[in-house]
Structure 1
């Protein structure tokens, strides 16, 4: 299936503005399939044409405004939409396939007790494996989720639960504007521990067979979460912007963690089953801080296109290490960064596949994944740490807070960030095109 190109994304972004997604997911069917229905409200240039993306098992129905469209028009993952009006409603119903590859709606049956656990993975362009969407990072919109599932399950989404109108039915509040790759949920007989800090509800989740191990470490996980939240509130003028803060430790997760607003997902290797070293506990703490940093840099203000993926990760790497060292008992986190993370960056930089920290061009979404390495994380974080030393911490934080205020719940680029830092620090050379396109 074709990967969305930057040219296509730019053209679509100039044609439409997405207002909301009303998502209804039915997880009660059993077997390998689930059903989804989405109602998308969006504005468009009258008479224009565009496309939405979906990767269904079976496309059941498509309705654009007052017209039923033939499901047979779906070509690969693209659903063409023509003769758009100024205000549009697209309704798409489909049977979707569960995944066991960490893409879309991942389904895991625990061999310990036979229980089924689900979680949604929408990064980088996998929301279309769950429901139809305009799947690019700069078409942010509010999501309203409803889920039908076995009544004995727990279901958690990005936003607060507002109602259980009937057994097995969960309805959630509208989210703040989110990029499509941040939509997520967990569903299953998850074990939960809950707390609260500074007005923010906190939750941690894992499968039942790991409950005793999560319980043993719950206070440490909550303590690190509280300490990091307090430190970010000291650094940033914007408070945590997404209501509740849940952290779910899920099985067979491809990455270390994912910064879904309101429901961060972690690989459940971080639920320790035996005695571990403090180095492993420090890694869990820096991962918690890394994902929390993304709530501001990545989630509140999101990259416009995947060429700034490095900036997203480098900032979280830098801020996650910094906040861990400043706020938690793991005050040697920068030493660990120097010994382990920078070594990862050095190794990546010595290979034939080395590349600039800031790529000159990312032609399509798939190409964005090629830069997911020690250069984009550790080398980029090292560059940012030097930038902070050069600017001074006060100017850096002033510029970063101005950046958040200017692009709140929107999208921005490296050039936008440098402009904010330039103004805050009175260093005009930061805003030059050469700086914005060169990794130094």
Structure 2
């Protein structure tokens, strides 16, 4: 199943692939589908007469012919088909049966419990197009793809290109369906030259809404939005179309290149593992982005940015594609940066950079302080490496550093370089130097040292303010002190000080408004250990000095003592959403680094969050509140802190504006932390509608969330779960019920949940929900016996499951509730043991170990 970079490079040097014709038969039952692939390709002179291989993952060997001659498939290993001898020009035919999956990889098959209809979708990144058809599975062997699909006649079938032919067949019989299937055939026009991982197929009785737009070159681009029939009433296609149009307008102008494909369909599909996937002209999304009721503004904004992220990929990733997966970071980071920029500049989400700071940068800082941290330009030796590299460095740190680069060279220069890069490399594959060359030409700056310091080293620096003032309060010296990634288990040689384009803001109290408002801002280059902010000298010392104002730099920040005092007392009074978020982030970092007590942070949140206006910031703070209480406080203190926090959260619920976003978020947080009898009684009254919270939209999904909290507390059980499942007989309801049953606080329920996971019979989303419910335990002792179970079974699980399924068990099944040195030591020992043979499992274990070690450090500080 693995492919090394060296193997891929050798195959790319030997072959030039021209086209694929892929015929799929989806009428052959519930287990497998027919897959016939005809590939035309040429071989380099030195490769003529030699052998190569084509990738095809299947449980049965196919029939293979090369240039009309049968190929012996006796050596087929379930993943590779050896082929040869090669001619200068070759036609290869692979005719076989491929397997549906329920793991969200390859061609995923889902049955809707509402109507028993079958829904399919493909997911191919990184190496899973080979699960649907025979293919040279690497991004630099681009080709054209023409799909022909036979499927039930009442289905919708969608691929990358527009439909060219659609004809009905009548009833067809197959060995797997002797009773016959009323079928039809869809033929799609060939794609442009693209990589196999962005090809796509979505099929089933999806319902859709259609529109169109005019691209920058005057073409009419058809638009479609699809979802399952049982969800269609909830599909808000108008908002999706509006965001799409805004994205097209922004990206075509910024990239200087019209949309490169013939149509743009967006499909919300069931049991999706990620947020979305940038298949060319056929983007797939997580189905929970079809909202069944009221959701927070944070969730709506996340959907908007995801829509823009995938659209940004149509140029950067799909039109111009990385040569090998070591440049995955650039693909994802660029889309992350551009989607935030587009949201901030061309949609109603003008505060998108606040969201970026609150979510993406927090993710990046956390990832960059794990033992698995790596340079942004990570070495990707093989597919196993890239599978575990979809992380906070690849997405969030890379995007943060790109924002720093934009500040360094100027946004106009940056986009001019990007436009030249796209124009020069359209429909081909590139490496990082190809982009950096264009950025240097556009900006006139030598970026070689910047590249070395930012992209080839790991870890996060810290920038601390040091200020001196005279007795009259006049600043005599203001310095930024930079420290290396101390405390980050960075790679050898990463003890670096980096150059930063940074702003320093002065904030003072506006007596008229009672707000802390920025009065001055100094932008400068900071490098080395100490940088003097010369412009600050001679000015009156403000109430608060904020380093990295506007969040241009990628670094943790530390305030001077007087600024900490102001921030702690008046954080809610800071009038800038982004500035408040930077202060929240600095406070959180001090707790994570063991410099401040988690109890202090909990109080800081609960004192100020009631006045916070940004939905994503509230969401982030409430998540951090939960971590601070459950992980960063000693057990003997956490119960009381949690009880007090729940009481204060209920007060915030009652004080919130009826029907507001904050009210909804505080209700959810209260449900998570409610433990005492009075708290649980209040929660039960909301759930069963005995008492009404004015304005609260008690949606089906919210009721499930409240019920699960009551189940975890022992206040509800199977009777209530079964009744709720009867009221909500949907796939979403089934998943919620699975989580609730796993949350039942008995040894028997926990054992049942664990056995389900280890048995490996659950689908990807059901497995995730069972593990989430399993970990809901008010008493950590209830889960203590499963520490041995985890360490005793995780190697077998990892070795017998697909990557997505195994990684979910390794991450969500880790005994994170048992915060102690023994678990840290066991995780270290097993990680070290398997490092040489199973790098993915070793890394996943080490990351969970690192988080627990940090929790122990924070508990000591508390």
Match of 1:252 in 2: 271
Name the structure with the higher strand share. Answer: 1
TM-score w.r.t. structure 2 length? 0.50
Match of 1:264 in 2: 283
In 1, the alpha carbon distance for the partners of 2:335 and 2:42 equals 33
In 2, the alpha carbon distance for the partners of 1:76 and 1:98 equals 15
The structure 1 residue matched to 2:244, chosen from 225, 228, 241, is 225
Match of 2:203 in 1: 187
CA shift for structure 1 position 122? 1.3
In 1, the alpha carbon distance for the partners of 2:447 and 2:105 equals 42
Q: In the alignment, does 2:225 pair up with 1:204?
A: yes
Match of 1:410 in 2: 428
CA shift for structure 1 position 146? 0.4
In 1, the alpha carbon distance for the partners of 2:327 and 2:147 equals 29
**Most deviating of 392-401 and 252-261:** 392-401
- 1:103-114 to structure 2, matched below 5 A, reads 103-114=105-116
8 Å Cα contact 1:415/1:431 also seen in 2: no
- 1:138-217 to structure 2, matched below 5 A, reads 138-167=140-169, 168-198=184-214, 199-214=220-235, 217=236
Distance 1:429 1:341, change over 3 A: closer
**Most deviating of 276-285 and 4-13:** 276-285
Match of 2:404 in 1: 386
In 2, the alpha carbon distance for the partners of 1:429 and 1:342 equals 23
Match of 2:857 in 1: none
Q: In the alignment, does 2:339 pair up with 1:337?
A: no
CA shift for structure 1 position 431? 8.8
In 2, the alpha carbon distance for the partners of 1:86 and 1:404 equals 32
8 Å Cα contact 2:73/2:82 also seen in 1: no
In 1, the alpha carbon distance for the partners of 2:322 and 2:454 equals 14
8 Å Cα contact 1:15/1:48 also seen in 2: no
Match of 1:22 in 2: 21
Match of 1:90 in 2: 92
8 Å Cα contact 1:213/1:273 also seen in 2: yes
**Most deviating of 139-148 and 340-349:** 340-349
In 2, the alpha carbon distance for the partners of 1:134 and 1:431 equals 37
8 Å Cα contact 1:415/1:436 also seen in 2: no
Residues 95-148 of structure 1 show CA distances to partners (whole Å, capped at 9, x for unaligned) of 111000011110000112111000111111111111111000100000000000
Residues 159-203 of structure 1 show CA distances to partners (whole Å, capped at 9, x for unaligned) of 010111334110000101111111111000001000001121110
The structure 1 residue matched to 2:54, chosen from 52, 60, 66, is 52
CA shift for structure 1 position 436? 8.9
**Most deviating of 420-429 and 185-194:** 420-429
**Most deviating of 145-154 and 422-431:** 422-431
Match of 2:437 in 1: 419
Query: 1:241 aligns to what SS in structure 2?
Result: coil
Residues 17-76 of structure 1 show CA distances to partners (whole Å, capped at 9, x for unaligned) of 000000000000112110100000001022232111111232231000021112223234
In 1, the alpha carbon distance for the partners of 2:231 and 2:344 equals 29
Note the aligned Cα RMSD (angstroms): 1.4
CA shift for structure 1 position 430? 3.8
- 1:241-320 to structure 2, matched below 5 A, reads 241-320=260-339
CA shift for structure 1 position 432? 8.9
Distance 1:352 1:60, change over 3 A: closer
CA shift for structure 1 position 406? 1.4
In 1, the alpha carbon distance for the partners of 2:129 and 2:392 equals 26
8 Å Cα contact 2:60/2:78 also seen in 1: no
Query: 1:371 aligns to what SS in structure 2?
Result: coil
In 2, the alpha carbon distance for the partners of 1:350 and 1:6 equals 27
In 1, the alpha carbon distance for the partners of 2:213 and 2:101 equals 35
Query: What is the total number of aligned residue pairs between the two structures?
Result: 436
8 Å Cα contact 1:127/1:180 also seen in 2: yes
TM-score w.r.t. structure 1 length? 0.96
In 2, the alpha carbon distance for the partners of 1:429 and 1:116 equals 52
CA shift for structure 1 position 437? 5.7
Higher Rg of the two aligned structures? 2
Q: In the alignment, does 2:41 pair up with 1:75?
A: no
CA shift for structure 1 position 423? 1.4
Query: 1:166 aligns to what SS in structure 2?
Result: strand
In 1, the alpha carbon distance for the partners of 2:226 and 2:393 equals 32
- Runs of 4+ deviating beyond 6 Å: none
CA shift for structure 1 position 425? 1.5
In 1, the alpha carbon distance for the partners of 2:283 and 2:94 equals 27
Structure 2: stretches of 5+ with no match in the other structure = 170-183, 215-219, 458-497, 499-862
**Most deviating of 303-312 and 164-173:** 164-173
In 1, the alpha carbon distance for the partners of 2:132 and 2:234 equals 31
Distance 1:312 1:132, change over 3 A: same
Residues 255-279 of structure 1 show CA distances to partners (whole Å, capped at 9, x for unaligned) of 1000000100001000001101221
In 2, the alpha carbon distance for the partners of 1:429 and 1:268 equals 41
8 Å Cα contact 1:422/1:430 also seen in 2: no
8 Å Cα contact 1:103/1:122 also seen in 2: yes
Structure 1: stretches of 5+ with no match in the other structure = none
Query: 2:17 aligns to what SS in structure 1?
Result: strand
8 Å Cα contact 2:334/2:399 also seen in 1: yes
In 2, the alpha carbon distance for the partners of 1:132 and 1:218 equals 35
8 Å Cα contact 2:436/2:447 also seen in 1: no
In 2, the alpha carbon distance for the partners of 1:409 and 1:302 equals 8
Distance 1:78 1:117, change over 3 A: same
Name the structure with the higher helix share. Answer: 2
**Most deviating of 187-196 and 369-378:** 369-378
CA shift for structure 1 position 433? 7.7
**Most deviating of 148-157 and 335-344:** 335-344
Residues 350-378 of structure 1 show CA distances to partners (whole Å, capped at 9, x for unaligned) of 2222222221x211012012221112111
In 2, the alpha carbon distance for the partners of 1:282 and 1:121 equals 24
